[in-house]
Amino acid sequence: MLKNKAHVCLRCRKVIVYNATQAGTSLPCPHCGETTNLPADRSFHPEPKKKPIGKMLVVLTALLAIGGTGSWAIFSVRKKLPDSAKTLPTVLTSLIISNKAVAPNTAKAKGVHASISVTEVTYEPQQIFHSALKKTVRTETPVCCIRVNIENTGTTGIPFHSWRIFESLSRAEKAALVGSMNDKFSLVSFGVESVPVGVFRKAEIAPGEKAIEKILFLCNGKPATDLTLSLPCSNVGGDGLVYITIPARMIQ
């Protein structure tokens, strides 16, 4: 069970693992001694559960917990559910089902014309572009990189906020990854203005446009079991969560 956060040291490029209470502080890197600002995060990610009904309740719980913005509040009130999932209107049931997919199949975000798919998963050192240093460096530590494609299937632009941890001070929600034993993986950050090479960096996805996102997680080796990635749809202007199951055989 990994509950720690992970940050890549800009000097030695090794991963520094730290806990929530150390977030937002500066500490010497345990590998090279360089003073490093450990990014703060707004919150830990919601925890997806296994059963479909459980997931539904988790979505609602997450919506209620997040609360804050108007759209979330409206959504949570509108979707107050009857006791049994069997009595759900067909439309709502189909919406809930379509937000799940097994990679490389596509899931649909609720409340917005966006389709989301996982196209590649690798466990290896990653190329990171540091804007401040104007150079690309390779991480020393291998990490799990999930490549996600987001396609705007509508006729108007949709917003895009990364699910990575680097936007730690923004209101964007974060991705979460769990294994088959419900073990959680930590997001890896590189500091503000540092992004994996090849990701989409605009704030809006045009109609018909495909955006590439790469989300990096800390792993103690190549994952051997299926993984489940959950992505809050608010990052693309939608509602709820998308769940994508990643078969172990897809991890390279």
Task: Tell whether residue 128 is a contact of Zn ion (CB under 5 A).
Answer: no
Q: What is the DSSP string of the chain?
A: ----EEEE-TTT-PEEEE-GGGTT-EEE-TTT--EEEPPP-S-PPP---SSHHHHHHHHHHHHHHH--SHHHHHHHHHTPPPS-GGGS-HHHHHHHHHTEEETTS-EE-BTSSEEEEEEEEEEE--EEEETTTTEEEE-SS-EEEEEEEEEE-SSS-EE----STT-TTSS----EEEETT--EEEEEE--TTEEETT----SEEPTT-EEEEEEEEE-SSS--S-EEEEEEGGGGT-BSEEEEEE-GGGB-
Q: CB 137 → Zn ion: shortest distance, Å? A: 12
Site size toward Zn ion (CB under 5 A) is: 7
Contact segment (CB under 5 A) with Zn ion among 9-17, 93-101, 131-139, 235-243 equals 9-17
Task: Tell whether residue 165 is a contact of Zn ion (CB under 5 A).
Answer: no
Q: CB 190 → Zn ion: shortest distance, Å? A: 12
Give the x-and-dash track for 10-49 against Zn ion (CB under 5 A): -xx----------------x-xx-x---------------
Q: CB 79 → Zn ion: shortest distance, Å? A: 46
Q: Residues in the site for Zn ion, rule: CB under 5 A?
A: 9, 11-12, 29, 31-32, 34
